[in-house]
Structure 1
Amino acid sequence: MTATPRYAHPEAIVDTRWLADNLGAPSLRVFDCTTYLHYETGTGRPYRVESGRGDYDKAHIPGSAFLDLQGELSDRASPLNFTMPALDDLAARFAAKGIGTGTRVVLYARKNPQWATRVWWMLRAIGFDDAAILDGGFDKWSAEGRPTETTETRYPAATLAARPRPGLFVGKEEVRAAIGDAASCTINALAPDLHSGANPRYGRPGRIPGSVNVPALSLVDTASMTFRPPEAVAAAFAAVGAEPSKRILVYCGGGIAATLDAFLLHQLGYPDVAVYDASMSEWAKDESLPIERD
């Protein structure tokens, strides 16, 4: 009899009741990670990035601070959005926001948990393991009528030394090398129209050859913004041939939605999962890289 799938790291997902009961704990650090993407045509760019700071200022979970992914936690020298900084630099940026030794971190977002999972995956890449995603994010918190505030929170700076985990983020060469490799499975976390090539948002329409499609939002109950049950998530990955024995590479448009897939693969116990950081923002524009479409 096959065991019922379960989430292997339940400490990395907290619910709204847990957070409500623990707000104010001295070591707790809660962050709103919201970013918005505004899709535009005729501009030569796939989307316009808007920080969620405006909505944070209007209402947020009491005691939570704000993390600006593009403005504070990305490589400002990169021509692409949301590029990972050097790991020591990233650790220093997190420490300045109050994340460090002895802190327990809870991350949430609005409208889409992918912004929280991106920050979680970045923290994991630098070796910080005491972080969790608020299941349902601000949407569920607000729908339950829980309290909010408008006062900004700033935590005191902390001490955080990077303990890098190599291989959690990869570049185009590793992704290219995985094409046709039976020991690897490359997953596209974008919507089906982007995977098929019907939508040319990122430049050349299509997908990385041989990749399979598990859209990030298909793994979320869009009514509550909570993660789907582990058996449903496990079935979605199994259906495309993503086996735990394989090296799993996940991509999307800019390394954000991919982290939602990657987070849940990690929760299911997959031991070897990586995110292609630049994703289709790089791949679709590089004519030397192969692409396929339906």
Structure 2
Amino acid sequence: MNKVPLIVTTDWLQEKLEDPNLRLLDATTYLKNTDNGAPELWSGKETYEEGHIPGAVFADLLNDLSDPDGAFRFTIPSRERFVKKMEEIGVGEEGTYVVIYDQGYATVGSPIIASDWASRLAWQLRYEGFDNVAVLEGGFAKWLDEGRPVSAEVKSYPKATFTGKRQPEMIVTKEDVQKAIEDDNVIIINSLSEEDFKNGRIPGSCNVPFGNHADEKTKELHDKATLKENFEKVGALDPDKKVITYCGGGIAATWNALLLNKLGQKNVAVYDGSMAEWTSEKVLPLETD
């Protein structure tokens, strides 16, 4: 089985829907900011059951694939928990490959075109050592726009044996970030909007908003030259540099990390705790404009 691209098109996926080696996952999760500042979160299982790409199974990032006892909502779970949940839905077998999408834009109409819930799960799979995984460009929204088939039938894959070992270089802690602030060989990227970046950021970090990489109408990624420009302006494509991406809670950061990988930057790690953890530690410094 050849390794799949990091990001695949809707045409590519439709041709693969009957492939017995495909494991297609719907990773839909919802986050909405409320007036009191506390985000509202809910699982996308209900919208998955209403309609999804044929053959897809639901992967619950919120309830199954995060640490239920974590101090922050989307803290990575233990390897044992993650592997168990993946095996239950049929993911991890050698010789298979995974494609992940989410339904966010299609169902809540967010102006941001970014498959960051899908990229979060793809990042978790690679972190645990299963790297034959792709994210669907444009997600379910693009699939719907193109009039492709949708199903409400809930299917399942055979239970799997998860293979692969953790890749610790893909994640950093707050202690790692503190050290990186003073390290000229590390680029720290805040993946949130420009407004959020100005309101508070890790000192020394630069801003590459995760929502700036795709066209709102076509839902396709911008061309390679535009994507490169987005990251080159902060020096993040220098092969001699290490890049750390962060955001609010470790979700949007994985979208930037995925695109950096696509552009050839291999030395990328995600700060899983992100601003949720950083701002909870009152002794940690913040920069604002």
Q: TM-score, normalised by structure 2?
A: 0.92
1:173-212: CA deviations, max 9, x gaps?
A: 0011111211101000001111001xxxxxxxx0000100
Runs of 4+ in structure 1 off by over 6 angstroms are none
SS at 1:187 equivalent: strand
SS at 1:50 equivalent: strand
Match of 2:201 in 1: 207
Native 8 Å contact 1:88 1:161 kept in 2? no
Native 8 Å contact 2:215 2:221 kept in 1? yes
Match of 2:44 in 1: 52
Match of 2:142 in 1: 140
Q: TM-score, normalised by structure 1?
A: 0.90
> What is the correspondence of 1:157-168 to structure 2 with a 5 Å cutoff?
157-168=159-170
CA distance in 2, matches of 1:113, 1:29: 18
CA distance in 1, matches of 2:84, 2:27: 18
SS at 2:142 equivalent: helix
Native 8 Å contact 2:173 2:271 kept in 1? yes
- Structure 1 residue 130 corresponds to structure 2 residue 122: no
Unaligned runs of 5+ in 2: 106-113
CA distance in 1, matches of 2:4, 2:138: 15
Match of 2:192 in 1: 190
- Structure 1 residue 29 corresponds to structure 2 residue 23: yes
Match of 2:110 in 1: none
In structure 2, relative to structure 1, the CA distance for the partners of 1:116 and 1:89 (3 Å cut) is same
- Structure 1 residue 99 corresponds to structure 2 residue 91: yes
What is the one-letter code of the residue matched to 2:178?
A: R
What is the one-letter code of the residue matched to 1:12?
A: L
SS at 2:270 equivalent: strand
Match of 1:280 in 2: 275
Match of 1:202 in 2: none
CA distance in 2, matches of 1:128, 1:228: 27
Native 8 Å contact 2:6 2:258 kept in 1? no
CA distance in 1, matches of 2:218, 2:26: 17
The structure 2 residue matched to 1:256, chosen from 251, 257, 280, is: 251
Between the two proteins, the alignment pairs up a number of residues equal to: 276
Deviation at 1:10, TM superposition (A): 6.9
Match of 1:12 in 2: 6
What is the one-letter code of the residue matched to 2:50?
A: K
CA distance in 1, matches of 2:274, 2:31: 16
Native 8 Å contact 1:139 1:224 kept in 2? no
Unaligned runs of 5+ in 1: 1-8, 198-205
- Structure 1 residue 170 corresponds to structure 2 residue 172: yes
